[in-house]
Structure 1
């Protein structure tokens, strides 16, 4: 199995951008373009409430860890889990400083309501796969908590979802290594994208924003 070096790791959370739009992912992670909108700001506020890296809570048989760093050498990614619950169980893993064994249950926080796409589910699956690699354990399920409904939606990690995650990260590494930004493919989802004013759909066949700007400047100087 191929293992990536730490300096080659991509951001785990990037799979959400990638699943939404490959071009959006490339603009953010390759070209370092970013722009806030109401969706990104409200999402950050929700995550800020979930993330306290110095907070671990134990209630009865459940240990709650927030902003837990995770990584995968096989997929070449690293990031954080919003919340990981370690639930006491006879067939779980051992935790330093705690008696007994525990199962691992990741929880991702999202600001809105459940989506028709697999975007949130793939991100949670990726987190679970990192945790599996780190703890040498199989994690069958986790949950996505939605701020709008104030409910957890249980997610079962299927082999198909795991396959999609692995293939997505493989393609992300290939694009990143080539420094290639995919071309514009307009869809209705573009209207909700925080980068719609940066993406510039009229780029047409031009793949890079930098290339587009350079071309526009050259035309003005002619």
Structure 2
């Protein structure tokens, strides 16, 4: 499927969508946002990474920042933190540079590696966008975790690519139909900056009351 540019969604949203569809809906459909310590720290961390005027060249690696990319097949657009171009004859041409270069994304995260794949699917989506923008194929990317000073290499597999295409299709369906999932409480909800807006604990209590009433009525009917 090919999406019209007017229907593009934010690339960064795929991470929210994979982690919590309600969070994504509140942010991207309801246009709701709130800051907490984690989001503020993340913004500070990205200030240098997102500065397009900071460019570096070390030996056979060129580092570029704040690249604009998009994908017609995903219907997503966004800005990449950092792209490293490694000199390699199997790569692509860069304007004003000799030789060929292979691009590899470095996505910066404030915390540490997560048990789920939300960071990975974001990196893979970014890679697909960069591939379409530059007309190349990219096999690996990197996630850099600030709190543990760890740069983790991620292989961009066909399975991960398909997961990203499926998520992007769901995102467009949710957005077009204005679907916002009901709140569910998880142990990580307290870390979300939208917890006071989402109010998952109240939703859980409401369901518990409904279940209690339903069970009571069933018990009375069986008497």
* Structure whose alpha-carbon radius of gyration is higher: 2
TM-score (norm: length of structure 2): 0.88
* Residue in structure 1 matched with residue 159 of structure 2 by the alignment: 160
C-alpha contact (below 8 Å) 2:184/2:203 kept by paired residues: no
* Residue in structure 2 matched with residue 96 of structure 1 by the alignment: 95
1:189-213 Cα offsets, whole Å, 9 max, x none, are 2121111100122347x9xxxxxxx
Question: For 2:168 and 2:36, how far apart are their aligned partners in 1?
Answer: 26
* Residue in structure 1 matched with residue 2 of structure 2 by the alignment: 3
Question: For 1:49 and 1:115, how far apart are their aligned partners in 2?
Answer: 23
1:130 CA displacement: 0.7
State how 1:1-222 maps to structure 2 within 5 Å. 2-201=1-200, 202-203=202-203
1:55 CA displacement: 2.3
Question: For 2:54 and 2:6, how far apart are their aligned partners in 1?
Answer: 28
Question: For 2:4 and 2:147, how far apart are their aligned partners in 1?
Answer: 39
1:93-127 Cα offsets, whole Å, 9 max, x none, are 01111111011110000001111111111111111
1:163 CA displacement: 0.9
C-alpha contact (below 8 Å) 2:107/2:123 kept by paired residues: yes
Question: For 2:42 and 2:55, how far apart are their aligned partners in 1?
Answer: 22
Task: After the TM superposition, list the runs of 4 or more consecutive aligned residues in structure 1 that deviate by more than 3 angstroms.
Answer: none
- Unaligned runs of 5+ residues in structure 2 are 207-223
Aligned length: 204
Cα RMSD (Å): 1.3
- Unaligned runs of 5+ residues in structure 1 are 207-222
